[in-house]
């Protein structure tokens, strides 16, 4: 995933013409922490201003887990895809039936809307010979975290819990966000999300200690000590435990 990290071109008249492509360039603590991370990783790549990383990040997570999970647990026939409806899996197959009914009935449309339709960034299933694939895990990929980018995470998790028929899938968030206070908006929830995994965990841990305010340091420490934030490198192994 580190190959996606880069310096983003800013206004050439600015004091610093480049900023980390994972940072909020208008937020000094965000930029300071992210700069330390990129320097520690010796990132030299530069991308144009306006380059978005959402889709490449989702693809990179999918491809990495396609490699790791079969290696760690070759006995399970894994299905790992981007942007597939949960209705393709056993616990949520009934949502297709609901969708047909809602489309036909204005009263149902008013009552239910379409909030039950969940198409996650990454889905991980396990094929079954006797039935549809079982949805094992759902991953929400957040390259960085702004209020407009995370507002869908908690409803997505709640919908997965509310509409399942059978075992609930793991629901986790993977991010590169440098600012602990923004990560905590998801990590310190009351159950919608299992856990947040950070792609540059060790480097960000060191950068927060170096450049973070006492509040940012306390927030990072609390998330880690409570098991709400972990290193992305532990995700695949965790997913094979159940």
Q: What is the pLDDT of residue 129?
A: 75
Q: Is residue 58 part of a domain?
A: yes
Q: What is the pLDDT of residues 50-72, one digit of tens each?
A: 788 989 999 999 999 999 999 99
Q: For residue 43, is it within any domain?
A: no
Asked, for residue 37, whether it belongs to a domain, the answer is: no
Assess if residue 123 is contained within a domain.
yes
**Mean pLDDT within 195-202:** 97
- The boundaries of the domain holding residue 185 are 52-202+209-239
Q: Is residue 40, in this structure, part of any structural domain at all? A: no
Domain membership flag for residue 16: no
Task: Write out pLDDT tens, residues 108-167.
Answer: 555 555 555 678 999 999 998 777 889 999 999 999 987 656 667 877 888 888 878 888
Check whether 91 has a pLDDT greater than 70: yes
Band (pLDDT 50/70/90 cuts) for residue 191 is confident
Q: Is residue 31 part of a domain?
A: no
> What is the reported pLDDT for 99?
60
| Residues paired with 142 in a beta bridge | 175
pTM score over 0.85:
yes
**Cα–Cα distance, 168 to 171 (Å, whole number):** 9
pLDDT value for 156: 82
- Edge to edge, the sheet with strand 18-20 lists 18-20, 7-9, 46-47
For residue 38, is it within any domain?
Answer: no
Checking DSSP bridges between strand 122-126 and strand 7-9, what pairing results, if any?
unpaired
In 3D, which of 26, 51, 53, 27 has the Cα closest to residue 211? 27
Look at the chain and report how many structural domains it folds into: 1
């Amino acid at each position: 995933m580190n190959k996606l990290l880069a310096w983003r071109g800013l206004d050439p008249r600015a004091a610093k013409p480049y900023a980390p492509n994972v940072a909020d360039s208008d937020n000094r603590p965000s930029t300071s922490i992210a700069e330390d991370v990129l320097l520690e990783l010796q990132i030299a790549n530069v991308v144009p201003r306006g380059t978005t990383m959402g889709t490449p990040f989702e693809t990179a997570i999918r491809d990495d887990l396609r490699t790791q999970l079969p290696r760690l647990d070759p006995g399970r026939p894994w299905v790992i895809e981007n942007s597939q409806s949960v209705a393709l899996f056993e616990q949520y197959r009934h949502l297709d039936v609901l969708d047909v009914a809602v489309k036909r009935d204005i009263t149902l449309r008013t009552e239910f809307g379409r909030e039950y339709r969940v198409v996650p960034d990454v889905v991980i299933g396990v094929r079954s010979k006797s039935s549809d694939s079982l949805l094992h895990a759902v991953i929400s990929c957040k390259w960085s975290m702004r209020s407009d980018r995370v507002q869908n995470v908690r409803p997505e998790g709640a919908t997965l819990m509310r509409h399942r028929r059978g075992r609930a899938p793991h629901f986790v968030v993977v991010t590169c966000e440098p600012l602990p206070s923004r990560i905590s908006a998801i990590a310190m929830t009351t159950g919608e999300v299992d856990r947040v995994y950070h792609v540059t965990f060790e480097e960000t841990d060191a950068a927060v200690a170096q450049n973070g305010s006492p509040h940012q340091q306390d927030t990072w420490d609390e998330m880690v000590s409570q098991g709400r934030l972990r290193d992305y490198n532990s995700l695949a192994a965790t997913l094979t435990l159940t």
